[in-house]
Amino acid sequence: MQKSILIIGACGQIGTELTLALRDKHGKENVIASDIREGSENLMDSGPFEVLDATDYDALEEIVAYYEISEVYLMAAMLSATAEKFPMRAWNLNMNSLFNVLNLGKEKKVDKIFWPSSIAVFGPNTPKEHTLQSTIMEPSTVYGISKQSGERWCEYYHHKFGVDVRSIRYPGLISWKTMPGGGTTDYAVEIYHKALSEGTYTCFLKEDTELPMMFMDDAIRATLQLMEVDKENVKVRASYNLAAMSFTPAQIAEQIKKHIKDFKISYKPDFRQAIADSWPSSIDDSKARTDWGWQARFDLENTTKEMLENLAP
Ligand code: AKB
């Protein structure tokens, strides 16, 4: 039977590409994009779209019933930098939207749920190198606290009510189709845009701040892979560590210089430095590799090539 899929937060950085990938795979009529606002033509014209506030359970339930949705991807969230400015708004959006979707699962109104977690679940006391799936967490940011709580609730709903919820702890994501917004890792996208348009970039993190990152194609492939694997292979119901590459602003600048010789970077760290300092510099994703065969394809070199080629005027 053809499944019907709902993406919440479809206009965001991950949501846009996920919607396009799912429409390619399952047919455009079967993938309903939704967001609090209308999005790019690319997204709106490629299949059904609904304006939806993810914190409104009744509105969500109505859309799920109308389209006979079986699978939900909840991509709406307030990210780390914005969440520090609006803690209560971030908590309300990030948690209430998750409860709404988990409760749809509990009521057996949907069969399967994807919810993104983040490397932000880790904190300053977490070992920084090759951070393990299970280790000290203690997140120190509003966003990280909401993601860690979310993970606990996912696991709880799975064990207590049998909800088939699956999740990935995304690292910073690098993409050219849609800009990120409100994150700490956003510099790794902005830098390519500025390199091409101005030949210079002022980075809001210090030159030696190493963070885990991933090219969007890998992130989308991982998401589809996790959602397709047999239930029995999904052994982690909180969220899976996932890794591809780690680099510093100085290292990404070096890669860009291989293509744009005169490119210049300067550094002006702001409040986002403290957020980045609380996160791991590299991630151990052996659990995802063992349980569902995860393997990244993009490193910094081919990511840089893809970004510059696709963003070039
Ligand atoms: C952010 O920087 O807030 C996000 C994330 C790592 O989850 N990109």
Q: What is the CATH number of the domain that holds 252?
A: 3.90.25.10
pLDDT digits (tens, 9 = 90+) for 179-213: 999 999 999 999 999 999 999 999 999 999 999 99
In a domain, 34, yes or no: yes
In a domain, 292, yes or no: no
Answer yes or no: do 110 and 184 share one domain.
no
Answer yes or no: do 231 and 304 share one domain.
no
Count of structural domains within the chain:
2
pLDDT digits (tens, 9 = 90+) for 89-123: 999 999 999 999 999 999 999 999 999 999 999 99
pLDDT at 290: 98
- Is the distance from the beta carbon of residue 219 to the nearest atom of ligand 1 less than 6 Å? no
pLDDT at 39: 80
Task: Name residues whose C-beta falls within 8 Å of residue 8's C-beta, 6 or more positions apart in sequence.
Answer: 15, 34, 35, 52, 54, 60, 72, 73, 74, 75, 76, 97, 101
Radius of gyration of the chain (CA): 19
pLDDT digits (tens, 9 = 90+) for 132-160: 999 999 999 999 999 999 999 999 999 99
Answer yes or no: do 133 and 235 share one domain.
yes
In a domain, 287, yes or no: no
Distance from the alpha carbon of residue 180 to the mean position of ligand 1, in angstroms: 9
Distance from the alpha carbon of residue 112 to the mean position of ligand 1, in angstroms: 24
In a domain, 148, yes or no: yes
Answer yes or no: do 89 and 24 share one domain.
yes
Q: What is the CATH number of the domain that holds 28?
A: 3.40.50.720
- Is the distance from the beta carbon of residue 79 to the nearest atom of ligand 1 less than 6 Å? yes
Closest by CA position to 118, among listed 88, 162, 92, 83: 83
Q: Which residues are catalytic?
A: 143
% helix / strand / coil in the chain, to the nearest 5?
Answer: 45, 15, 40
Distance CA 303, CA 297 (A): 10
In a domain, 254, yes or no: yes
Residue 277's pLDDT band (cuts 50, 70, 90): very high
Percent of the chain surpassing pLDDT 70: 100
Pick the residue whose CA is nearest to atom 4 on ligand 1: 183
Answer yes or no: do 11 and 67 share one domain.
yes
- Is the distance from the beta carbon of residue 183 to the nearest atom of ligand 1 less than 6 Å? yes
Domain residues for the domain of 204 are 173-213+244-281+298-311
Please state, as a whole number, how many other Cβ atoms lie within 10 Å of the Cβ of residue 310. 11
Closest by CA position to 285, among listed 245, 252, 228, 251: 245
Distance from the alpha carbon of residue 227 to the mean position of ligand 1, in angstroms: 21
Answer yes or no: do 167 and 302 share one domain.
no
pTM of the predicted model over 0.95? yes
Answer yes or no: do 135 and 255 share one domain.
no
